[in-house]
Structure formats: structure tokens, C-alpha cells
Structure 1
Amino acid sequence: IDSSSIHRIYEQLIAGIFLNNKQQKFWVVKADEVYYNCFMVYAAELSLATQVDIDGLPLWNAQMYHWKFTEITERDGAVIKVAKLSLARIHVLDISGRISIDDLSPNATYAIACVIRFDDNQVYVRSALVLPNGIIQTQKRNLHDKPRNEWIRVAVGEFERRSNYEGVAEFFLHF
């Protein structure tokens, strides 16, 4: 971070700064004279599974050689790593991640979404968001009407970050 002036720090926070070796991005959004903290978790920080065990549970990060991490350039010019599945056909894809809500702005509503790109015609997704207070939000949806070979946002859930609300939110997607 360039801390040569308050103005330069402000510019960087609005544009976004990378954390954890470019595995997360943090930026600030101003709305109604209030600043809100925002985070993005990139593929390198997620758990990925393309196989399940005998009980049908995901084998997290067991077959990582099926994944190719490549770099792409975002709209703002930042270069990030994305994960691409190198198999032509898979039967299951599970994605999980977690984020500490302690760093989120209090009294704000946050959405958790996954940005994906796929080329399959029939894609169904189940998602779950597990909040620190034990509340679980689940959704099922068919993505057949979404564009192929384009980055799309798949909503997982949303929650309000209350001032006394602390801990880790976990999210899961099953394709």
C-alpha cells in the first residue's frame, strides 16, 4: 500500500487492495455518506472437489491435478488467478469457502455470490450459507437460462452484519 498521502490511501481503498497473496481483495464502497467494507475471495482460497466418498461427501482438494490455475486480467487491470477444471466431463463439482464477518461493516446487508463460467447446457446448483449464529440459508436453482462461456454471478445468500454479530460465515455450492 502506498501510504504517501491520505488521498493515495483513499484511492487504493476505493480501487481495492489484494490480501493473502492475491487470494482475497478488499475495497470500500461509499453509499449515503457511509463507507462499507467489501471482500472478494478468489479461487485459490476456496476448497474444490470433483469426487465424493462412499457416503457422498466431497473429497476436498483431493484431485487438484484436475484443476489448472491460470491468470486473467480484471476490468481494473489487476491480474488474478482463476481455477479451470481440465476434465471434459465431471459428475459433481463442490465449492466451499469461508469469510470472517468480523471485518465487515456493521448494520449493513451483505451478499455472498460465486462468479463462475461454464459451457454445459444443463447446470443445476444447490447452495448453502451457514452463518455464525447457526442460521442456514439454502437455495436450489437451474442455470439453463444463463449465458454460456461468460462470467456470471450465482447468489448463495445474504445476511445483515449486526454490530454484535461475529465469527465466520461458510458457503457451499454443489453443481
Structure 2
Amino acid sequence: MEGQCYPHEYQSILRGSDSPAIHANIPLEKLYDQLCAGVFLNNRTVKYSVEKESQKNCFMMYARGFSIACSDDPSCWKWVTEKDAPSDGVLVEMAELLKVRWLDVRGKFDLSNLSPATTYEAVFVIKLKSSGYGWEVPVNFGVTLPDGTKKEHKVNLKEKPKDQWIEIKAGEVSTSEYKEGQMEVFMYEHSDHWKSGLVLKGVLIRPKNYINK
């Protein structure tokens, strides 16, 4: 590893690693390639990685770690297991919407794990199935910051590509302004009509000018 810019709080974060071979006390030089590739935490509900160019922390929060209204009702949602990426054999759980009126998905993230003095964006990763329906009404996406500030906007999902993973930005947070506390990310649509055919992979939290694609 070049330079002495160590990823923020990486040792503390790695204590939640799912892999017994990855320990917080291993020298960073031996861990760095793995950190850039990503390390699963908390029973594969989170993936921690380091952006190679900037050495800033990134996170993927998977669907199983979210609060999803009616997700325990098999007539409303089903849990599916798929590869995290085509080139990655690791399986993660994703939530597929079967049929609901009340769409409400929320997740919380501890900002103290993000790199300092950085603007981050929170991005929902979803797939809209061509067989889906009920997306005539725009869906609300947003974030609630630690001081209660809420930022949200509407997105017309009916116009988005089908049967492929797409990214929908929820919002941004600056760790110069918010150094700790929890940020909530959310997606909701509460109108009284049925909706179906959305698959939730999770939410990416990454530096706004993300380089390590």
C-alpha cells in the first residue's frame, strides 16, 4: 500500500467481519487489496470497502438489514438469494415486492464509520421487473440526517429501465457537518393502489465523486 493514509476506523469496522480470516489486528498492507474488493459484515447485511484512489470508506447496506413494511407477510414480499455481483460467488438476500399498497423501506447507518471531510451520497440499488405494475404514482426517496433534517424528492419509476439493476439517489450527507449520529435512508409510496415487481438489493453509501467503479 502506498502512502500512510489509513482508512477511517477500519479496525473497528472489521470487528464485525463475517470472515474468521480477517482480523482487525492484521497489518493494513496485508488487508488493503481485500478492503478494496470488499468485506462482508454482520451476517452479510453490510459490505465494507475502500475506494482505491482516495482510500475513503464505502458501504453497501443490503435489504435484509432494512425495515420493510409487511416484509414478514409472504403474500407481500419474498426473500430471494442472488449473487452479490456476476463475478462474485457470494450470495446475499434481496427483497422482491409481490403486492402491496403501502410501500415503506427504511434503513439506518452510523455516520461515524464514514471518512471525515467527505460528501457522501446514498443510492438505492433496485430492479424493476417488466411484469411489475402500479408505478404510475412517483415514489419518494430521501434521507433524514442526525439533527432531524429531512431531504426527499419524487422519482417516477415507471419511466426507468426494466429487468436490470438501476441506481436511484436518496440524498447526500457531508461528514464535515455531521461527524456522528445516524442517518436514515428511505423509500416510500403510500397511495391506495397496488404495486408489484420491485426488487431491492440495498443502498450504497459512497463518496459523491466515486472513482473506483
TM over 0.5: yes
SS where residue 11 of structure 1 aligns? helix
Per the TM alignment, residue 66 of structure 1 is displaced from its structure 2 partner at its CA by: 3.2
Q: Mark the CA change 1:106 to 1:122 in structure 2 (over 3 Å): closer, same or farther.
A: same
2:86 maps to: 75
So what's the TM-score if we normalise by structure 1? 0.81
Instruction: Tell me the matched-pair count.
Output: 161
Per the TM alignment, residue 103 of structure 1 is displaced from its structure 2 partner at its CA by: 0.6
Query: Do the aligned residues in 2 keep the contact of 1:2 with 1:8 (CA within 8 Å)?
Result: no
Per the TM alignment, residue 6 of structure 1 is displaced from its structure 2 partner at its CA by: 4.4
So what's the TM-score if we normalise by structure 2? 0.68
Deviations along 1:29-73, whole A, 9 cap, x unmatched?
A: 033xx31111111011001115xxxxxxxxxx5636633222111
Query: Do the aligned residues in 1 keep the contact of 2:122 with 2:172 (CA within 8 Å)?
Result: yes
In structure 2, how many angstroms separate the alpha carbons of the residues matched to 1:7 and 1:18? 19
Q: Does 1:63 align with 2:73?
A: yes
Q: Mark the CA change 1:142 to 1:122 in structure 2 (over 3 Å): closer, same or farther.
A: farther
Query: Do the aligned residues in 2 keep the contact of 1:106 with 1:163 (CA within 8 Å)?
Result: no
In structure 1, how many angstroms separate the alpha carbons of the residues matched to 2:82 and 2:180? 33
Q: Mark the CA change 1:174 to 1:10 in structure 2 (over 3 Å): closer, same or farther.
A: same
1:169 maps to: 183
2:106 maps to: 96
Runs of at least 5 residues in structure 1 that lack an aligned partner in the other structure = 51-60
Higher relative contact order (CA 8 A, sep 6+): 2
Q: Does 1:127 align with 2:145?
A: no
SS where residue 35 of structure 1 aligns? coil
In structure 2, how many angstroms separate the alpha carbons of the residues matched to 1:35 and 1:133? 28
Q: Does 1:44 align with 2:55?
A: no
Runs of at least 5 residues in structure 2 that lack an aligned partner in the other structure = 1-20, 190-213
One of 150, 155, 159 as aligned partner of 1:136: 150
Per the TM alignment, residue 144 of structure 1 is displaced from its structure 2 partner at its CA by: 2.4
Identity %: 32
In structure 1, how many angstroms separate the alpha carbons of the residues matched to 2:87 and 2:64? 20
Per the TM alignment, residue 162 of structure 1 is displaced from its structure 2 partner at its CA by: 1.4
Query: Do the aligned residues in 1 keep the contact of 2:111 with 2:178 (CA within 8 Å)?
Result: no
